[in-house]
Structure 1
């Protein structure tokens, strides 16, 4: 048995080293309650299994709603003293919180939410969610934006710990040879004098891709820009039609394997993540930003992207931040970055310097500090 249980949906590739670090430094068991069917997850990306103690929890699917009933007996074991639970799971979150309180185990919430969804069901459940925030023994968050949001709800700032969002820097900071970059640009159909804007994103409303297309259509150098989007989703045809209507040169690739994505990142001239706030979503972080920073590329993100306002991007220093849906502001930034090489290089160099310190050790410290805090209460 383990003193600490971490309960989350599944193990994606970007969490393996974090979980291994927690496993190696503390007596932790990971319980996974999902089959990886979440809407945000590309089903072509395999789930991972690292070198840590874990179990997959049995459950039932009722009309697309998964209920991990096998979680309940795991919560009642006598060895664990601390339960760390991610914000996800319509059944798993409330049952974990309630049982933890019932049997007096320390409950730590792990969340990246910094805006509560504004649907009828979410408005109805918000009082209980806020109750969990206030009654959790500690909360681990993605960045300062989440901490500020929780504090605005009256949560004690002393019990909030930041586990800075991290990717495998050793994988994404590899130097990509110039000939490989030239080859990749050629395969993507980028002409010698063209500037490549890259976006890696699901093709859904909350990613704000139509605003990016509109901004490019307004740019002074629009005729020399090619927009490459990697991702799939329901809006693919709409985005292609909008680009055609506005005269934007666009290429959409539904999927590129993770071990090849670095070459695409290294080939771009500017990376943009134009996410917007919707009634059901606000970008918790955007880990692709960490990946791109490892390649020293200039980055523009909206202020609805967690990484843009939560402590990673410093506007005008290692990236730029624009107001969500502000096509005019984004257009100005696109022209500036793609025509002023010194400014683009300045952003890229600082991005690469910044991301060196965003390690899994540092992320794990947020969890460790929270666990120590609740055990010393």
Structure 2
């Protein structure tokens, strides 16, 4: 007899880039989202009313919800303070299979994270399945004792992000002097882990500020930019998706210069998917999940450089500036390589886990340690 109960999917929020993914998953297997809000690493705000069944909860309510027996499996991500252990322990109380959706590929080193490692180790070992962002996350999960891992590829709405600007859409008018011949794009929060300061150091070292080139900083308010970086640096502030796509279309390369910190290592970087859909090569550091996970590939569709190394980043910028043919070839490969990274592929992988008897069977010999 088929179990008609839905899957409980616990996460903090639904970012705009996740809407299509969750809709695709719900079309394959019934899910209900439990959204507890809170901090987001996404540059865009949450969607308050996603088009799939959902409820807004507090983290304190998740244990009882997961333990209610109303769901045939419980999925939880790694966001939040108590949401993940509450979902895990609630599922254990109800003897409901638990699936971890993991973005982690390194241990965080804050006191709270260090104290939580024994519980996290138990979650990895006891989870019926761990669904990951990529092979970099799967390898880390297996090292923590996960028995079954599946990659659900990180994806955006490729149809939207690959589209050209609409009729009558001019090149970005925010730039004095018009569109530069070589435009370097960055999109992210002005946070330490995003590597903005390393990028600014690299820009100064590259000498491109004296060329017909520009560094475009989406998501960065003008007041966040220190003096001395030159007039070719443009802090664009927040951009909506259409404006961001327009800037990507008129750019030459996207830079994702993330650096690891005590509490964060870039799980993926969906801006790489978005830019690759616009045929942009990517310069990424080795601390970017999209590079560690295999989407951004050195000298195939971009350049991968060591993190926290402005000199290496500057050399990569100069190389692409001086070799337009290489820049164009990497961009063409980027568009082809990102094409399979779709919401449908993400949902297919997740649904395969949730509908497979072995995918949601809790390992029988594990006990809480």
TM-score between the two structures when normalised by the length of structure 1 = 0.88
Q: 1:18 to 1:238 in 2, by over 3 A?
A: closer
- Note if 1:104 corresponds to 2:95: yes
Shift of 1:192: 5.5
Instruction: Provide the residue aligned with 1:40 in structure 2.
Output: 41
Instruction: Provide the residue aligned with 1:239 in structure 2.
Output: 225
Shift of 1:282: 0.4
User: Using the alignment, how far apart are the partners of 1:376 and 1:100 within structure 2?
Assistant: 13
The secondary structure found in structure 2 opposite 1:69 is: helix
- Note if 1:184 corresponds to 2:171: yes
- Aligned pair partner of 2:64 in 59, 70, 73: 73
Shift of 1:179: 6.9
- Aligned pair partner of 1:171 in 138, 143, 160: 160
Instruction: Provide the residue aligned with 1:280 in structure 2.
Output: 263
Q: 1:311 to 1:259 in 2, by over 3 A?
A: same
- Aligned pair partner of 1:30 in 19, 30, 33: 33
Deviation digits for residues 185-236 of structure 1 (CA, Å, limit 9, x no counterpart): 4432254554211100100111111111111212244412321111147xx6
Instruction: Provide the residue aligned with 2:365 in structure 1.
Output: none
- Note if 1:337 corresponds to 2:340: no
Shift of 1:290: 0.4
Instruction: Provide the residue aligned with 1:15 in structure 2.
Output: 18
The more displaced of 281-290 and 190-199 is 190-199
RMSD: 2.1
User: Using the alignment, how far apart are the partners of 1:376 and 1:92 within structure 2?
Assistant: 22
Instruction: Provide the residue aligned with 1:143 in structure 2.
Output: 134
User: Using the alignment, how far apart are the partners of 1:42 and 1:292 within structure 2?
Assistant: 15
Instruction: Give the structure with the higher percent helix.
Output: 1
- Note if 1:50 corresponds to 2:50: yes
Shift of 1:247: 4.0
Instruction: Provide the residue aligned with 1:218 in structure 2.
Output: 205
Instruction: Provide the residue aligned with 2:367 in structure 1.
Output: none
The more displaced of 48-57 and 331-340 is 48-57
The more displaced of 346-355 and 214-223 is 214-223
Contact 1:190/1:196 (<8 A) preserved: no
- Aligned pair partner of 1:255 in 238, 243, 249: 238
- Aligned pair partner of 1:4 in 3, 7, 13: 7
Contact 1:108/1:140 (<8 A) preserved: yes
Q: 1:238 to 1:169 in 2, by over 3 A?
A: closer
Q: 1:46 to 1:113 in 2, by over 3 A?
A: closer
TM-score between the two structures when normalised by the length of structure 2 = 0.90
- Aligned pair partner of 2:281 in 285, 291, 298: 298
Unaligned runs of 5+ in 2: 363-369
Q: Which ranges of 4 or more aligned residues in structure 1 deviate by more than 4 Å? A: 190-194
Shift of 1:248: 6.4
Deviation digits for residues 231-284 of structure 1 (CA, Å, limit 9, x no counterpart): 147xx656322xx1x546311122111232110111111110100001111000
Aligned residues: 356
